Structure 1
Amino acid sequence: MTLNSLGLNTEKAKVLAEDLNVLLANFQVYYQNLRGIHWNIKGKRFFDLHVKFEELYTDANIKVDEIAERILTLGATPLHAFDDYTNSAKVPVGKNISEDVKAVQLIVDSLSELLKIERSILEKSDDADDEGTNSMMSDFITEQEKTVWMMKAWLGETV
């Protein structure tokens, strides 16, 4: 077993970086979805949702940077072309969504996909003793679970 300068198994770190690139691609699509619904939302809830969507896309933008930096820390190159993102994304693409319920549902659906990817990375990072990636995924999961709960509550649904 070969260790990198971080003390991580090089093969496991490579796999984690690949998985983080998939997460990065999905986060970029999620971020763009949030920008789109922020710009296009209409109706009586415009003011509240416009602000909320900006809060969410600002947070997503920060997470995109954190994911890319973690990929670099693990010794790999972050994806940075749109075709790489669309080819790797499982997050649904929201196009021309201006209705409040559809916009909030898009967030729930997107976060549900991100959570699946993050849980898989969490399991692998735990196995690799990669506390940096593990901590990042734990933090992301905790925040996103709360956002899903809040969005589902707004929709009048339970988790």
Structure 2
Amino acid sequence: MSNSTTNIGLEKKTSKELAEKLNVLLATYQLFYMNVRGFHWNIRGDKFFTLHVKFEELYTDSLTKIDEIAERILTLGFTPTHAFSDYIEQSVIAEVKHESKDVACVQHVLSGLQSLIEIEREVSALSDEVGDDGTNDLITTYIREQEKIVWMYNAYLR
């Protein structure tokens, strides 16, 4: 291992760039998680039983992904962001407050997922370019899962 490579044999410079992009993804996931958790708690109306469960599935899955992303940043040799003020600053999605209407909540979920997929595609392209198969495998799995969820939530809105 040279001074220019990480413990896992990747170039430090490109790994730093990748870790920074992963921290944006981490921040965005944290806001997505909080938004969906709020929708789960506050959903009202005749779709309550359906959406309450679906939102719980989403935020539980998000927690797993948040942990995996943070661990990947650590594996690359960098520090995951861990202050909520930084999450708010770095996230590409905003907090959603005081929303309990079914259609609006689902639209926010879709918008959040689309933002996550967009960042994940950027991470995937960068990790592929620098030969980071571990990150690429993790992120392309997320994309595939989320594309299906986007399709399902869009079907719900129709």
Give structure 1 stretches of 5+ with no counterpart.
none
1:2-151 mapped onto 2 (5 Å cutoff): 2-151=4-153
Kept after mapping to 1: 8 A contact 2:88/2:94:
no
Give structure 2 stretches of 5+ with no counterpart.
none
- Percentage identity across aligned positions? 52
Normalised by the length of structure 2, the TM-score is: 0.96
Letter in 2 for 1:139: T
Letter in 1 for 2:74: L
Kept after mapping to 2: 8 A contact 1:34/1:56:
yes
Kept after mapping to 2: 8 A contact 1:41/1:99:
yes
Kept after mapping to 2: 8 A contact 1:92/1:109:
no
Q: Structure 1 runs of 4+ off > 4 angstroms?
A: none
- Deviation, 1:93, is 2.1
- Aligned positions, number: 156
Residues of 1 paired with 2:94 and 2:31: CA distance? Answer: 8
Normalised by the length of structure 1, the TM-score is: 0.96
Supply the RMSD in Å over aligned alpha carbons. 1.0
